[in-house]
Chains A and B, each alone.
Chain A
Amino acid sequence: MAIEVDMMKKVPVSEQDPKVRAANFEEVCLGYNEEEAKAEATRCLNCKNPKCVDGCPVSINIPGFIEKIKDGDFEAAAGVIGEASSLPAVCGRVCPQEKQCEGQCIRGIKGESVSIGKLERFTADWAREHGIKPVKKAASNGRKVAVVGAGPSGLTCAGDLAKMGYEVTIFEALHKAGGVLVYGIPEFRLPKDKVVAKEIENVESLGVEIKTDYIIGRSETVDELMEREGFEAVYISSGAGLPMFMHIPGEQALGVYSANEYLTRANLMKAYRDDYDTPINKGRKTVVVGGGNVAMDAARTALRLGSEVTVVYRRSEQELPARAEEVHHAKEEGIVFELLTNPVEILEDEEGFVRGIRVIRMELGEPDESGRRRPVEVPGSEYEIECDSVIMALGTTPNPLIPGTTKGLDTTKKKCIVTDEETGATSKDGVFAGGDCATGAATVILAMGAGRKAAKGIDDYLNAR
């Protein structure tokens, strides 16, 4: 049966019922089927000057792949995406499309933009389910490049370099490749075995070797990789590092976690599954502090582990940095948002366990350097929220391991590696960097964009030698 399309609105996508999914770790969004995808594709205006492509950090030919979906040639659509992205099934699920491609879509001016993210996801899922491999292995040019960290940035850079013929080895500190895709983003948003592992296999099928349990900066330094192991260039994509805390009283109480710890236990170490040994404190009432994607992931994970959850964020709904879809999903699932609210103290019981959090109301003042209105405390508005767990999702500072062990690698005041934005080049000859270790905590797609640019930067650098 043909689907009736309202040109002003996105073809709706099926999702797990909020009440059901709040108690499981299965994927929330079920994605388009073939008919829905073809129907949604008809909404694309195929603009001569496609703004959506400008909005994409890896410049996918968006009207190009949507055109192929319209024709029902899904394999060709996957081919178009594959030219620009190594991880399309991931991006279709986790990119902040409303701020990127979909935010630029002409359809969005009067109605809803084309559902580009869902179409990308459909294409990638279809290709995977039909056993389609993106590109064939290139002939080796005999030149070795090392990549540090198997997260989205490293995988993208490695994939692009392998397509150019380089012999690429990725060194990963954890026991599993994927970086934030496996330790940070939860299963219900990004399935690990079904999606992430398969996309990593695709990168490996290009000839990329991934060595896990291998810590650059400890097992071997960047200098040693170049001097002893014959790598002609190194791309550092070691990701985000240590979690930030608020430095308020009670932050060392038992039951206060960083979102990194909480999510790593739940995702990488699979604490939510009975067949894994990892302990996790399943709070009864959890307060999550922060308003980004990581805060939403932590809140929704705690909810699924059986806790009541409140998100405390110091600005208003408009400033929430999380993807719109995540906030929408979180609300549907029953997470309470205390906006314009900021913690001042974590309260402990006599045993040292969290018993609550004291917060203060905020109001928005003048815009600050980020352009957002600065939240200011409302005097005398303090109150307490009862809880037994507090998860701090306030961002991270870069990992000090590599800058601390690599000679001549400049960092900024905030300890980010200094890079040339166009090429990824650092202050050290032959060493490139990108992703969170260079920019501070950002998104998967921006890290991938940096990986792509650096692959080109490395190729130009090595060709000029």
Chain B
Amino acid sequence: MYKILSAELLAEKTYRMVVEAPNVAHACEPGQFLIVRAEEESERIALTICDYDRDKDTVTIVFQTIGESSYKIAEKKAGDFFADVVGPLGNPAEYITEPLEEVQKRHYLLVGGGLGTAPVYPQAKWLKEHGVDVDVIIGTKTHDTLIMEQDMIDAVGEDHVFVTTDDGSYKRSGMVTAVIEDLVKNEGRHYDRCVSIGPMIMMKFCVKMTKELGIPTIVSMNPIMVDGTGMCGACRLIVGDEVKFACVDGPEFDGFKVDFDQAMKRMKLYKTEEGRRMLKYEESKQGKNCGCKG
């Protein structure tokens, strides 16, 4: 059992929790993820590692409630336990294993869309701590859905964080692609690498823009997974005409090579099934709020 030390609501349907998970905390690096199972009957849900503290044996997760099992995760409070927390899974970001002096020569642009802001955070923090120049773009629907702006400012400095809202309700207005274009073409910024994490559709268009600008771009893929350890094959993707598995070959891939349309199509698979279960779950919650599991 894995103890939850704190739980907070960051924005609508978006939660942050600090969890005791020594096996993950001791080994995880930016770019990796973990799997949580709320209860014995729950699914294995792949989640982002948003932060970690090796001394305290803790990891921080940020997630949104989408399916029934993520609701079960969200219902947990500080002091409760998860049945399982397993990780780290996937490979660390590529710069972790590259010679640091090479990495330090580059200027990085990190782009976080929506919930993708959370996995961008440890990357921004790591790069900054290792003396690498880094700018961060946070894209979100509207001011109310913005998460982790202050954390990001604390990590890389106010001058290096650019927030944009789709509806213009806060700071810049428009999509992250417009900000990338502005920064490079109109504001004199130069980048050698981009890391883009967010909804598939955002990553697809982000890559289209960075390709035009000639900035090699890494994307982090989060397809459907079951075991997360290289067994089930559910997370298969087409990358450069080859079948790759996000859990053991990724989750980060060369964004210029990923077939996003194919990946988005596969995401649809359990939507109907999941949707049906969600309805059933919501109904049951309204029906009997006694706290029993009956």
Which A residues contact B (CB, under 8 angstroms)? Answer: 173-175, 183, 212-215, 218-220, 239-243, 245, 247, 252, 254-255, 257-258, 260-261, 264-265, 268-270, 275-281, 351-352, 399-401
List residues of chain B with CB within 8 A of the CB of A277.
41-43, 67-69, 72, 277
| Among A254, A261, A270, residue most surrounded by chain B Cβ atoms (within 10 Å) | A261
Contact A269 B226 (CB under 8 A): yes
6 shortest interchain CB distances as A-B pairs: A258-B233, A243-B233, A261-B232, A279-B273, A213-B86, A219-B23
| Among A220, A241, A280, residue most surrounded by chain B Cβ atoms (within 10 Å) | A241
List residues of chain B with CB within 8 A of the CB of A278.
43
**Chain B residue at minimum C-beta to C-beta distance from A348:** B265
**Chain B residue at minimum C-beta to C-beta distance from A397:** B230
With A219-B23, A260-B232, A275-B41 known to touch, is A254 a contact of B248 (CB < 8 Å)? no
Task: Decide yes or no whether B204 CB sits under 8 A from chain A.
Answer: no
Contact A264 B229 (CB under 8 A): no
In the complex, A281→B272 CA distance in Å? 10
In the complex, A328→B237 CA distance in Å? 37
List residues of chain B with CB within 8 A of the CB of A174.
86, 227, 229
Task: Decide yes or no whether B245 CB sits under 8 A from chain A.
Answer: yes
Contact B233 A254 (CB under 8 A): no
Contact A258 B238 (CB under 8 A): no
Contact A214 B23 (CB under 8 A): yes
A273 CB, nearest partner CB in chain B, Å: 8
Using a CB-CB cutoff of 8 Å, which residues 254-291 of chain B contact chain A? 262, 265-266, 268-270, 273-274, 277
Contact A183 B265 (CB under 8 A): no
Task: Decide yes or no whether B89 CB sits under 8 A from chain A.
Answer: yes
B205-245 contact mask (Cβ, 8 Å, vs A): 1 or 0: 00000000000000000000011011111101010000101
Interchain CB contact (< 8 A) of B233 among A261, A276, A279: A261
Name the interface size band of chain B.
35 or more
List residues of chain A with CB within 8 A of the CB of B43.
269, 277-279
**Chain B residue at minimum C-beta to C-beta distance from A218:** B88
Interchain CB contact (< 8 A) of B248 among A183, A243, A268, A401: A401
List residues of chain B with CB within 8 A of the CB of A214.
23, 86
Contact A242 B27 (CB under 8 A): no
B36-53 contact mask (Cβ, 8 Å, vs A): 1 or 0: 010001111000000000
Task: Decide yes or no whether B127 CB sits under 8 A from chain A.
Answer: no
Using a CB-CB cutoff of 8 Å, which residues 52-90 of chain B contact chain A? 67-69, 72, 83-89
Contact B84 A264 (CB under 8 A): no
Contact B226 A264 (CB under 8 A): yes
List residues of chain A with CB within 8 A of the CB of B234.
257-258, 261
List residues of chain B with CB within 8 A of the CB of A269.
43-44, 226
Task: Decide yes or no whether B24 CB sits under 8 A from chain A.
Answer: yes
Contact B88 A260 (CB under 8 A): no
17 A/B residue pairs, CB under 8 Å, sorted by A = A173-B229, A213-B23, A214-B23, A219-B24, A239-B231, A242-B248, A245-B236, A254-B268, A260-B231, A261-B226, A270-B41, A277-B42, A277-B43, A277-B72, A279-B277, A352-B268, A401-B248
Contact B41 A215 (CB under 8 A): no
List residues of chain A with CB within 8 A of the CB of B69.
277
Task: Decide yes or no whether B26 CB sits under 8 A from chain A.
Answer: yes
In the complex, A269→B26 CA distance in Å? 28
A110 CB, nearest partner CB in chain B, Å: 45
Contact B232 A220 (CB under 8 A): no
B87 CB, nearest partner CB in chain A, Å: 7
Contact B27 A218 (CB under 8 A): yes
List residues of chain B with CB within 8 A of the CB of A257.
233-234
| Among A219, A243, A252, A264, residue most surrounded by chain B Cβ atoms (within 10 Å) | A219
Contact B268 A242 (CB under 8 A): no
With A279-B270, A352-B268 known to touch, is A264 a contact of B227 (CB < 8 Å)? yes
With A214-B23, A252-B265, A399-B231 known to touch, is A265 a contact of B226 (CB < 8 Å)? yes
In the complex, A281→B248 CA distance in Å? 24
Interchain CB contact (< 8 A) of B265 among A247, A352, A399: A352
List residues of chain A with CB within 8 A of the CB of B67.
277
Q: A183-B231, A245-B236 are in contact. List 11 more A-B contacts (CB 8 A).
A: A175-B44, A213-B23, A214-B86, A215-B87, A215-B229, A219-B87, A264-B226, A269-B226, A279-B43, A281-B269, A352-B268
A305 CB, nearest partner CB in chain B, Å: 12
Contact B23 A241 (CB under 8 A): no
List residues of chain A with CB within 8 A of the CB of B243.
245, 247
With A269-B43, A275-B41, A277-B277 known to touch, is A218 a contact of B269 (CB < 8 Å)? no
Contact A254 B226 (CB under 8 A): no
| Among B24, B85, B229, B273, residue most surrounded by chain A Cβ atoms (within 10 Å) | B229
**Chain B residue at minimum C-beta to C-beta distance from A399:** B230
